[in-house]
Structure 1
Amino acid sequence: MTVHPEFGTAGAVAASALAAYLVLVDPWIGRRMYASLERSRAAEPEAKPETETETETNAGSSEPSALTRYFTVVTVLWWLLAAAAVGALLVAENVSAADVGLTAPESPWYAGLLCVLLVGMAVATGRSLRRLAAEGRNVPGLSTIAAMLPRTPAERRLATVAAVTDGLCAEFVYRGVLIAFGVGVLGLNLYAAAALSLAVHALAGLYQGRRGVLAFALFGAVATLFYLVTGSLLVPVVFHVAMTVRDLVFIPVPPRERHTGAPAAL
């Protein structure tokens, strides 16, 4: 895989502003938003089991839950961030779609097989984690994201939208644009730029505390490897979406689950 982006002055300024936001602002906004969500979820009344019909009927007569507001804000923020990244590319001198991973994989059959395997892995591990939760046993990492786990069908739908948005936008920004920024603006080679983007991505896990930073670093390393091997964002996006949907939607949690993770947004 090779990329040859040429940002020029305007593109470099815009991309630098985006990178500065991701390093200096986004992790702290995420931490504050998640801490606020934890407090709001803990204060909400015990949720009663709802059917799909009951949820639809009550949707217009009650205030949106804290999680509904949280996922709505996170989804909007992600699309705004992706739009800012697109803006930086539009004012750049010569950055092609391939330079930011928006191209077909170098080996379509290999990438397609990877996607199938990754989705299958997400489903299989999701079932195992769901069984652990149903049996009341410890689910690794559950406490650090417990406030984000949906309790109603409406929240599950919104969680799915947020998970898909996270996968699409995060891979485009962190893997596609930031690696191109490292090469085209900072003058790094491809692998050093990938390592830098991975470090920035790891900071996004600050809302889960130190364990979250490590988890994001590991998750990002796998996604980065897929990107470097295939030359396309397709496999990283499928991996990211599949795993995030698994974690947010498939694992049941008691309505009043207490959170022991550090205060901390997608």
Structure 2
Amino acid sequence: MAISITPDFSTASTVVTAAVGAYLLLGEPWLGRRLYGSLARRRDAEPRALVGYFTFVLVFWWVLAALAVAALLLSPDMTSTDLGIAGPESPLATTVVIAVFVAVAVTSGRKMRALAKGGRNVPGLASIKAMLPRTAQERRLAIAVAVTDGICAELVYRGLLIAFGVGVLGLDVYAAAALSVLVYAVAGLYQGRSGVIAFALVGALFAGLYVSTGSLLLPVVIHVALSVRDLTLPEPEPIGSVPVHAPAPKGS
């Protein structure tokens, strides 16, 4: 059963959301690719390159989230429920699904970590290699980025964009959700074609979870779990090599 939302955007809110949407569709793919390319080139030569990259990502994501909240506050006739800021319709079912997904994320994370440490191929790992932490500080920031990504991306891409599609563009919920998936997919351009495909698939998953539950809670939790798993993986070592970096102590 799809959610039923009736977002009533004010003129100011429409302008803010349209600007955010335009950036996500046109600016984010370019900026993301540029920033990641710069990080990859500087990663080995500059010890604090990843710290600076993660810090920028944290600040930028919270700015986008603040704009989403501003869009809500600028619309007197719109409620938080229109942006998915609400409890799920079925708390018990949501809890069960969360438990299953978290268990899968933990189990798959252990397997991926073992493969990486053994120098074996981990699908998709090479495309985010520059973001993998090497120190305790980088690991803490990686977790912070993962949590921020899960919260802010769901609020902006799912909550705000789907509401905009319904309330301003006049789309039904499913079409608005499909549009949000398209916008989210191009954000994976910095990882190449495979990144766009991966973002489209997980974007469809998160959008489907939101539309079916009426709450961002489930997609947020699952997004965070997957992001923490991926951003805390060790750099893959060639088979038979001596690790260059000692494992970071357990602390996005």
Q: What is the TM-score when the length of structure 2 is the normalising length?
A: 0.91
Question: Quick check: 211-220 or 81-90, which moved more?
Answer: 81-90
Instruction: Structure 2 unaligned segments of length 5 or more: list them.
Output: 238-242, 246-251
Quick one: which of 43, 46, 51 aligns to 2:45? 43
Cα deviation for residue 252 of structure 1 reads: 4.2
1:154 paired to 2:156: no
Q: What amino acid sits opposite 2:63 in the alignment?
A: L
SS in 1 for 2:123: coil
Aligned partner of 1:119 in structure 2 is 102
Aligned length: 239
2:191 pairs with 1:208: yes
Measure how far apart 1:6 and its partner are.
0.4
Matched, 1:32 2:34: yes
Structure 1 CA distance for aligned equivalents of residues 32 and 223 of structure 2: 18
Matches within 5 A, 1:115-264: 115-254=98-237
Of residues 90-99 and 210-219 in structure 1, the stretch that sits farther from structure 2 once superposed is 90-99
User: What residue number does 1:11 align with?
Assistant: 13
For the aligned residue pairs, the C-alpha RMSD in angstroms reads 1.6
State the shift of 1:256 in Å. 7.4
Deviation at 1:85, TM superposition (A): 1.3
Alpha-carbon deviation of 1:93? Answer: 3.8
Moved more, 18-27 or 197-206: 18-27
Partner of 1:74: 57
Distance 2:137 2:231 in 1: 13
Runs of 4+ in 1 over 2 A off after TM superposition: 250-257
Hey, what's the Cα distance between the residues in 2 that align with 1:31 and 1:256?
Answer: 27
Match of 1:108 among 64, 74, 91: 91
SS in 1 for 2:192: helix
Partner residue of 1:2?
Answer: 4
Q: 1 CA distance for matches of 2:213 and 2:71?
A: 24
User: Residue deviations 1:190-209, cap 9 Å, x none?
Assistant: 00000001100111101101
Q: Which amino acid aligns with 1:143?
A: A
- Deviations 1:180-221 (CA, angstroms, capped at 9, x unpaired): 000001000000000001100111101101111111000111
Amino acid corresponding to residue 153 of structure 1 in structure 2: A
* Secondary structure of residue in 2 paired with 1:166: helix
Moved more, 86-95 or 102-111: 86-95
Distance 1:235 1:192 in 2: 21
Equivalent residue, structure 1, for 2:248? none
Please list every run of 5 or more consecutive structure 1 residues that lacks an aligned counterpart in the other structure. Answer: 45-63, 258-265
**Cross-structure match for 1:47:** none
The separation in 2 between residues aligned to 1:30 and 1:205, in whole angstroms, is: 8
Q: Measured at CA, do residues 186 and 213 of structure 1 come closer, stay the same or move farther in structure 2, by a change above 3 Å? A: same
Contact 2:154/2:219 (8 A) holds in 1: yes
Q: Give the Cα–Cα distance (whole angstroms) in 2 for the partners of residues 256 and 71 of structure 1.
A: 22
Contact residue 71 and residue 158 of structure 1 kept, 8 A? yes
| TM-score, length-scaled by structure 1 | 0.86
Identical residues among aligned pairs (%): 57
Equivalents in 1 of 2:162, 2:12: separation in Å?
Answer: 18
Contact 1:132–1:139 (Cα < 8 Å) also in 2: yes
Does the Cα contact within 8 Å between 2:105 and 2:229 map onto a contact in 1? yes
For residue 43 of structure 1, report the CA deviation from its aligned partner.
3.0
